Amino acid sequence: MSSTGVVYDQRHELHKCLWDETFPENPERLFAVCDRLKNRGLFERTTLIECKPATEEQILLCHPSSLLEKLKESRNAPDAEALENACKQFEEIYLTQDSFDCALLAVGGAIEAARAVATGKCRNAFAIIRPPGHHSYEANPNGFCIFNNIAIAAKQVVKEFDLKRVLIVDVDIHAPQGTLRSIADSEQILLISIHNYMGGAIWPFMKETNFDYDGNTINVPLNAPGLSDAEYLAAFQHFIIPIAIEYNPQLILVSAGFDAGLGDPLGGQKVTPACFGHLTRMLMGVAEGKVCLILEGGYFKASFIESAEMSLRALLGDPLPLLHIHQRLCPTFIESLRCCISHQAKRWKCCASTLNLLQQQQTASDSEIASMSLSIFVGQPIFEHFERIIRDRRCSTRNWFPRPRSPHSLGDVQLLSGRTSEMNAVLCVAFLLVVAFAVFLQPVNCSPVKGEWRMASKLSEGMVKKRSVYGPYKHLQGYAFMPKKSYGMWSHLPDSRREGFNFVDGGGFMKSDNENPSLFALPVQ
Ligand code: X5A
Ligand code: ZN
């Protein structure tokens, strides 16, 4: 019987940030995952899939040759300073002399894993690769991603095996704008993604990542932080899995980012490792189990190594820890899901029937039939602001990422100090938008506003005030909406505040500030 395949290649460590060793996307991520899988005796139960560099022809399935030429130059860069300077043309990208080859290897790994599953050589597979890929599109590497590994792999297997339906499911917490754009021209590929949206006030600040997008991408936008297993399971059970079944894919590729996980400093959500295992298992019920996981983000080591283990255990058919759901679904999430179901009811029979059921229930309980909410998007000014930063080559990687810095790198922040009149204009527009959003939309039934949202500038305490914000975010600080729920949310605090956090059997154990521990440990089934 064919087994579970794993891609892992030492050479992926060659891509690292030479000028900021605290950068969250680092080689340590792969070592940590692999160490864990080795220590738990999981590697020996899998088949190693050999990883070879993607060919230029394969890269061209999603990117222009101009990008290949640009990136190739980094091979001959004289020093780190030249590399850092070259990276200013991109958004949140770093390069070493080896990054180009390493990125080719990551794409190659994704392709080989997808091939192994498509041909039946492996029952399913997990490609443990980096750099990640799902943000990159056309000539725009960004968000730690150089080439779009998963989109290229999908296009390659469609071409090579004449597949008619390949499904990509993206569970990374960041909206996969790169995959969305890379596959927009492919009739044989469908993308379903669940990600932070926050009314459009979160990176990558793109309207196409909201529920009302039409095309071969289906979005589940999340508009509140602190969501957990309950919400993710509900999204899968009521929306993602029914659509997957109706689509009837021949192969499922998963953008397996674990940054929606409990404790992730970038994600702000609270999905337990065990839940990642269960999500994988739910997908294994579709496409005759032909599921290929491809690693994307995940930045809190204790959490993501456990999530990766649980996902691999799902692929191997191991028992998974039971999930204990003892919370009601977040109302803001319910509204998102209702919008998704209503919007997709036009195209998917399963959504039409779910919607019908919802409306019958509402009639039966004498409540008004809820209409679809407004599609909110407040990200345009920030998006344009970021585009100008890249165009003017104003900012290097180290200044993009908003988090506390070690003192020795503080000096570089000076690069951005002083507001330009352009920045002031952006601030005014953003501020006016925010005021309009707060004042005029308040009575409208759209929950990102309802009750839960306050202006961050008015907070006496809260995460915005507590964390230092640098780079392009610096001047926007205090003008953004922060959800009330996230006051002092621990996952946004510096790492030192997250001590006492352990992951056991797919759950997590956190000691909170008031010494009142909250327990997420889960019994094994
Ligand atoms: C792959 C991934 C995160 C990009 C964050 C940009 N990228 N602010 O998780
Ligand atoms: Zn991510």
Q: What is the pLDDT of residues 491-520, one digit of tens each?
A: 343 443 455 567 777 777 655 444 444 444
Which residue has a Cα nearest atom 7 of ligand 1? 143
pLDDT of residue 355: 94
pLDDT at residue 16 tops 80: yes
Q: Which amino acid makes up residue 519?
A: L
Which atom of ligand 1 lies at the shortest distance from residue 401's CA? 8
Instruction: Return the pLDDT at 371.
Output: 74
Lowest mean pLDDT among 138-147, 161-170, 325-334, 401-410: 401-410
- Higher-scoring residue by pLDDT: 516, 261: 261
Q: How far apart are CA 406 and CA 135, in angstroms?
A: 27
Catalytic residue among 12, 63, 135, 174: 135
Which amino acid, 129? I
Among 29, 264, 266, the mutation site with the greatest number of ligand 1 atoms within 8 A of its Cβ is 266
- 472 vs 22, higher pLDDT: 22
Q: What is the pLDDT of residue 152?
A: 98
What per-residue confidence (pLDDT) applies to 435?
Answer: 74
| pLDDT of amino acid 453 | 32
Query: Which residue bears the tokens 């005029």?
Result: 440
Cα of first residue to Cα of last residue in the chain, in angstroms, is 26
Q: Which of 182-191, 203-212, 347-356, 429-438 has the lowest mean pLDDT?
A: 429-438
Confidence of residue 236 (pLDDT cuts 50, 70, 90): very high
Give the residue-averaged pLDDT of 25-50: 96
Sequence-ordered strand ranges (E) for 66-206: 124-127, 166-170, 189-196
Q: What is the Cα–Cα distance from 142 to 152, expressed in whole angstroms? A: 16
Task: Please give the Cα distance from 4 to 2 (Å, whole number).
Answer: 7
Establish whether residue 259 lines the binding site of ligand 1, counting it when its CB lies within 6 angstroms of any ligand atom.
yes
**Using CA atoms, how far apart are residues 143 and 11, in angstroms rounded to an integer?**
21
Sign of CA dihedral 383, 388, 391, 396: negative
Q: Flag whether pLDDT at 483 surpasses 60.
A: no
Mean pLDDT, the chain, rounded, equals: 83
Q: Measure 287 CA to ligand 2 centroid, in angstroms.
A: 25
Residue 250, Ramachandran bin (φ over 0: left; ψ between -120 and 50: alpha; else beta): alpha
135 is catalytic: yes
Contact partners, residue 282, CB within 8 Å, separation at least 6: 236, 237, 241
Greatest CA separation for the chain? 72
Helix (H) and strand (E) counts for the chain? 16, 13
**Residue to substitute in 94, 129, 145 for testing ligand 1 pocket (most ligand atoms within 8 angstroms of CB):** 145
> What count of other Cβ atoms lies within 10 Å of the Cβ of residue 76?
8
User: What was the pLDDT predicted at 415?
Assistant: 27
Q: What is the mean pLDDT of residues 11-20?
A: 90
Tell me, what amino acid is at 157? V
pTM: 0.82
Residue 324: which pLDDT band, with cuts at 50, 70 and 90?
A: confident
76-80, 300-304, 436-440, range with the lowest pLDDT: 436-440
Give the ligand at the shortest distance from the Cα of 136: 1
Q: What percent of the chain has pLDDT over 70?
A: 79
What pLDDT score does 479 carry?
Answer: 32
> What value does the mean pLDDT take over residues 216-230?
96
* Per-residue confidence (pLDDT) for residue 395, from 0 to 100: 86
